[in-house]
Amino acid sequence: MTTAAVPKARSRGDYAKIIGLIFGVLVLIGIIYGYITNPVTTTAVLASTLRQSTPLVLGALCGLIGERSGVINIGIEGQMLMAAFIAFLANVYTGNLFVAVLAGFATGAVLGAFLAFMSVTLKMDQIIGGTVINILALGLTSFFYQTGLTTQGKMQPIPLGPLADIPLIGPIFFDNPPITYTTLILVMLVHYVLFYTRWGLRTRAVGEHPSAADTVGINVFKIRYINVIIGGGIAGLAGAYLTLEAVGSFERAMTNGRGFVALAVMIFGKYTPFGAWGAALLFGFATALQTQLQFAGQLEIPHQFIGMLPYLLTIIVLAGFVGRTRVPSAVGKPYEKE
């Protein structure tokens, strides 16, 4: 606020940019070196990085749309799990993958509406509201789950014509299954909507200062409802990704904490879509590398320690960066109309 604070903030920003630039150049050199020495493995790891990051990006987008409007969504895990289950069932009973994806999206959106009902209308504690969704999803999916259901298959990669033939970049970006493509588009779309449209401005206003937004005639409740519902739908896509694109079937508790890791990704990405994408790529890279190392059998480390990696990384990221991230001011607080 004070003038003295401005140069300090700016210099810190420059500092971060320089570090980011150095980091980016190092990553690029690493990739090129890897590609020259071992093109097959490098391409496989990087392509896997993008796919591993997909549910995390979607989860983080869900979280940030909600939090930008002032609602914490700790129920992403449950929204993903329930959507994964319903999308799987839809695939089993209709055999139509497109319908199954839509079912996943709709399931997430319904749970988003439930979260909005709890946190906006009932003014429940938002973290408890999300926890209700997590337990409910775990219970309902386990209760209704039957073993032995099979599907026609899962979604296959669609190569984008000549683009897919570009060395290195082609197989990574232009030869993916549909939800992975959709995720890349969503990152850009959410960025545009959030920062360049009236809706985005209103969302951010409601998340920062709801009473001021209310004074100028913005309907705080409506904005929060719609954001949390759309966010839930995006988390639902992440669930659909798991059953329809990654695994091809449903398993109990198959989300495995991804919904929570997505929240760390959101915070690490400083509540911006592109930031979240970058952060998710880092997590995706850790997972891809871990899988690759396990396959190659090059490591003497017990698999349990390799399995801890994404969770340890989440803690390190939270401990190292959360203090430096600016959180939307009104997040977590139910709005009381005066």
Q: Which residues would be at the binding site for other proteins (CB under 8 A)?
A: 72, 74, 118, 122-129, 131-132, 134-136, 138-140, 142-144, 256-257, 260-261, 263-264, 267, 302, 304-305, 307-308, 311-312, 314-315, 318-320, 322-323, 325, 327, 331-333
- Please, what is the minimum distance in Å from the beta carbon of residue 25 to other proteins? 28
d(CA 109, CA 79): 8
Tokens for 122, please give them: 């009932």
| CB of residue 312 to other proteins, shortest distance in Å | 7
**Residue 306 to residue 286: CA distance in whole angstroms:** 10
Q: For Cα atoms 281, 30, 282, give the angle at the middle one, nearest 5 degrees.
A: 15
- Rg (the chain; Cα; Å): 21
Residue closer to other proteins by CB (options 33, 144) is 144
Please, what is the minimum distance in Å from the beta carbon of residue 127 to other proteins? 5
Taking the complex as a whole, the smallest distance from the CB of residue 176 to other proteins amounts, in Å, to 28
Backbone φ and ψ for 117, nearest 5 degrees, come out as -60, -45
d(CA 230, CA 192): 15
Residues 6+ positions from 195 with CB-CB distance below 8 Å = none
Of 102, 78, 81, whose CA–CA distance to 90 is shortest? 102
CB of 282 to other proteins, least distance (A): 15
Q: Rounded to 5 degrees, what are φ and ψ at 172? A: -80, -50
First to last CA, the chain: 28
Closest CB to other proteins among residues 259, 278: 259
- Please provide the size of the chain in residues: 338
Say whether 47 sits in a helix, a strand or coil: helix
Smallest distance, Å, CB 323 to other proteins? 4
Q: Which is nearer to other proteins, 181 or 311 (CB)?
A: 311
CB 94 within 8 A of CB 310: no
Least gap, CB of 173 to other proteins (angstroms): 30
Q: Please name the residues in contact with 118: beta carbons below 8 A apart, sequence gap of 6 or more.
A: 124, 126, 129, 132
The minimum distance between CB 255 and other proteins, in angstroms, equals: 12
**Residue with Cβ nearer other proteins (13 or 307):** 307
Cα separations (Å) of 76 from 108, 207, 234?
9, 19, 10
